[in-house]
Amino acid sequence: MKYDTNQLEINKVQKSKIEEVNFDNLVFGEIFTDHMFECDYVNGEWQNPKIKPYGPIQLAPSAKVFHYGQAVFEGMKAYKDEDDQIWLFRPDENFKRINKSSARLAIPEFPEEFFFNGLEELLKLEKDWIKKGFGNSLYIRPFVIATEECVSANPATKYKFMIICSPAQAYYSGEVRVQFSEKYSRAADGGVGAAKAAGNYAAQFYPTNLAKEAGFQQIIWTDANTHEFLEEAGTMNIFFRVGDKLITAPTSDRILDGVTRKSVIDLAKDLNIEVEVRRVKVSEIVEAARKGELKEIFGSGTATVINPISGFGYKGEKFELPKLEDSYGKSFKDRLMKIQYNQAEDKHGWRHLVK
Ligand SMILES: Cc1ncc(COP(=O)(O)O)c(C=O)c1O
């Protein structure tokens, strides 16, 4: 079925609130732009796409999202180059992934025409919120929730697809030390780990709080069956550099197929860096650290691009990683950002111009 994008209704704010925002002091995810995109699923069809002023939505207390957690989301960014052009990075991947997440949670898939038309019209309206400069961006949060008023435990017949946007600055997370998980799990075989399902994140908060009390900022999750294999972090895929080789876990139904992860793998291949995509044993990483062969661990994800990890803990022991001049993580971050900001050749065709 072809969806008619002429249906998009745009209702603009009378006065922008942009002047009230201090763009030099943004806390990630706290400020939202003037408008949002909204589209409803009713009578078996996605309909009435609209852009309207950002603001609260009304839901019944019986809306299924509150009871059974039918909710999925995405995270992507828009960047502005020196000529005021707006770019997205591999947005087709986020579009495919939100529908994959939806399918896993029995949520109807969203039409591609509505997604790109809604997103691009929204970005054009919010162009002044996307600031120039390396590191500045507009974080984009598409999400879907079940809105049907009914507490019977089966898939809803009504949903809302929305996109909200939040201006973001270059993000420095400080030194990040991670704990390798020994007890708790994020995902299991046959579960929803590969979906960006809201509940996956809720379930991480408690064990992450325990890790924080023990002096770590994040957890690297291990496989639920044996806790012997390293999988991913809360919002990042994870790479290990042992010697000059990169190792990362394969995606599976437990691990999110990260856009940054797959881009790093492609860039590594371009640079003739050996990458092994295979299960990563906790014991081999601990042993490599003891021998001084573990040179780097870094996370990859849209929010920070590449997040260096300065140390890790396992079974009560703490390991520190060396500070490298020739860090792979730093080099990938620089290369990826130059592509995102239209400052370098994009030989893989990852950039998408918002016209
Ligand atoms: C669990 C999880 N893993 C990995 C990632 C990184 O994915 P991406 O590179 O697509 O942002 C994210 C963030 O989206 C995430 O939530």
Integer angstrom CA distances of residue 298 from 108, 233, 264, 315: 35, 10, 11, 21
The protein residue with its alpha carbon nearest to ligand 1, atom 1, reads 235
Q: Check residue 1 and give its pLDDT.
A: 67
Please choose, from the candidates 276, 279, 286, the residue with its C-alpha nearest in 3D space to the C-alpha of residue 254. Answer: 279
- Residue matched to tokens 């598409």: 142
Q: Check residue 173 and give its pLDDT.
A: 74
Dihedral sign from CA coordinates of 50, 55, 61, 67? positive
Residue 338: CB atoms within 10 A of its CB come to: 14
Q: Which residues line ligand 1 (CB under 6 A)?
A: 75, 196, 232, 235-237, 256, 258-261, 300-302
User: Please, what is the Cα angle at 281 between 186 and 278, to 5 degrees?
Assistant: 85
Q: Check residue 174 and give its pLDDT.
A: 79
d(CA 317, ligand 1 centre) in Å: 28
* C-alpha–C-alpha distance, residues 335 and 176, integer Å: 22
The protein residue with its alpha carbon nearest to ligand 1, atom 15, reads 235
Ligand 1 atom with least separation from CA of 302: 11
In a 3-state reduction of DSSP, which class is residue 14?
Answer: coil
d(CA 54, ligand 1 centre) in Å: 25
Ligand 1 atom with least separation from CA of 193: 1
- What parts of the chain have a pLDDT lower than 50? none
All residues at 6 or more sequence positions from 167 whose CB lies less than 8 Å from its CB, including other chains: 21, 23, 26, 31, 33, 129, 130, 131, 136, 137, 138, 139
Q: Check residue 277 and give its pLDDT.
A: 98
The protein residue with its alpha carbon nearest to ligand 1, atom 6, reads 301
* 3 state SS for 60-118: CCCEHHHHHCCEEECCEEEEECCCCCEEEECHHHHHHHHHHHHHHCCCCCCCHHHHHHH
* C-alpha–C-alpha distance, residues 15 and 69, integer Å: 35
Ligand 1 atom with least separation from CA of 200: 1
- 181 touches 97 (CB < 8 A): no
Ligand 1 atom with least separation from CA of 259: 10
- Ligand 1 pocket mutation, candidates 220, 235, 265, 350, criterion most atoms within 8 A of CB: 235
Q: Check residue 326 and give its pLDDT.
A: 93
Q: Check residue 255 and give its pLDDT.
A: 97
Ligand 1 atom with least separation from CA of 234: 1
Residue 15: CB atoms within 10 A of its CB come to: 8
Residue 113: CB atoms within 10 A of its CB come to: 17
Q: Check residue 79 and give its pLDDT.
A: 98
- Ligand 1 pocket mutation, candidates 237, 253, 305, criterion most atoms within 8 A of CB: 237
All residues at 6 or more sequence positions from 148 whose CB lies less than 8 Å from its CB, including other chains: 63, 64, 156, 157, 158, 159
- 73 touches 141 (CB < 8 A): yes
